[in-house]
Structure 1
């Protein structure tokens, strides 16, 4: 489910005219100068680096981990979409059935079948148009899109590559030194109990890009220490290599029936664990019996109806001897209309002096 990435990118790249129609205002993302100027890649965050994953690749050149926020809720939009898909599909089938019956002259109720065929054709045309024109913005968050967002950390080029759908900002390239952990430390708080993924960001103060880019990596967790341990694992890999680090278990890109089970069962077990009485636990049993299989099946269907594209060639070869280094993402990489929308949003990312509280001019105004 890419609703988090989509909303974040929409808030940064939506046209000002569309923003007014939707009554969307600009938010205040001001941060302290000490927060955005710090190099987080040099400071240890944990004494227990752990590869929680899921990881797709791990070698001397790069490691690759799954990205994406709200992955544990994947499957809900899939079931809603499939139920809505049934309307144009069934109306098309009934229309063709009526036409075939008339063509084969298998009925004497010709007028009735003609009216039925026209009715089903209208239903199909209207619903199909609504799907293509409007609902595609919803079902593409889980269906007929990239199977999983991937984040690749290349220790040779010292870059971070994020592979996302185009409607979520597309594939981007940033320097490793510009990365900022957002779930802990100076840029955030210990988010224990929130069931969130590990959030990483790239602030415009460092990247030079007008707005910030953020990405969630790994699994959802209720334990704040998990964020620090996995971040420390990635940090040590990028700074020192694979020496003295545990080898992560690698996952497959292919869809598997049990992929979505872990993401759904952990929140449910957490609710049962926090239950204050036997009654609460008993009330959760239908959730395990009915909703858990439903979520898991929806997750699997979503994976099957998506695909995992290859990285661009320049990123696949990055770090090899004699191969070029991918250029960092720039404003000019986007269409003119998107560039203007991004520039209109750049004032949201202000930086304030720690002592005076005044905005610092870092070329983003």
Structure 2
């Protein structure tokens, strides 16, 4: 156990005994993006809104609702930021289509460019990690296949066979969230990011 703790703790630390989420805060008045994350994942960073490059092509006119797992990524290239390295942050949960991907980016863009009056009020994720939310983590691997052929004998068999592993994954996921703590903003970032009272 001591050898495993000494040499494998860095893997364990990625999911347990660390802050619960990587949080990104957008401040339209200062036009800054604040990223709060553990040091081993890049640490806390502050970037200018004009330096962000999203994994969305604004000139792409084809926005389909075909189901696939998409995650919105925000890139901060060193040529723009002046930093020594490129940076990237994954924003939100996996989405169901590039239509949802575009919608999320448009929501953020309109907030930063046009203001909160141009968008609906956001839905907040509860701070306490309820166990049924952990069931969604393993289910996300089968969600698109299930949507393509719901209640087919093949899919029902696959879900039944995979359900013990999915349940184990969900329990481990929930335990890891219970071992983590809510995000704490350092005083300097807290003062800077809330100085203009962002929505």
Whether these two folds match at TM > 0.5 is: yes
- In the alignment, which residue of structure 2 is the partner of 1:154? 27
1:1-365 aligned within 5 A = 127-132=1-6, 134-185=7-58, 194-275=68-149, 278-287=152-161, 289-318=163-192, 319-320=194-195
* Separation of aligned partners in 1, 2:63 and 2:120: 25
Compute the displacement of 1:246 (Å): 0.7
Cα deviation, residue 165, structure 1: 1.1
* Partner Cα distance (1:136, 1:167) in 2: 13
Question: What SS does structure 1 have at the residue aligned with 2:177?
Answer: helix
Aligned equivalents of 2:120 and 2:3: distance in 1? 52
Corresponding residue SS for 1:243: helix
For 1:287 and 1:154, locate their aligned partners in 2 and report how far apart those are by CA, in whole Å.
46
Larger radius of gyration: 1
Could you tell me which runs of 5 or more consecutive residues in structure 1 were left unpaired when the two chains were aligned.
1-126, 324-365
Distance 1:150 1:287, change over 3 A: farther
Query: Cα offset for 1:166?
Result: 0.8
Post-superposition Cα deviations, 1:247-298, rounded to whole Å, max 9, x if no partner, equal 1121222222122223332432322333599452232132463233222222
When residues 287 and 224 of structure 1 are mapped into structure 2, their CA distance, relative to the original with a 3 A threshold, is: farther
Distance in 1 of aligned mates of 2:25 and 2:186: 12
- In 1, Cα distance between equivalents of 2:10 and 2:161: 29
Q: CA deviation at 1:140?
A: 1.0
Deviations 1:45-79 (A, max 9, x none): xxxxxxxxxxxxxxxxxxxxxxxxxxxxxxxxxxx
* TM-score computed with the length of structure 2 as normaliser: 0.85
| TM-score under structure 1 length normalisation | 0.48
> Per the alignment, in what secondary structure is the counterpart of residue 258 of structure 1?
helix
The number of residues matched between the two structures is: 194
Post-superposition CA distance 1:183-237 (Å, at most 9, x none): 4447xx9896551321111111110112210011112023001111111111111
Task: Give the CA RMSD over aligned residues.
Answer: 2.7
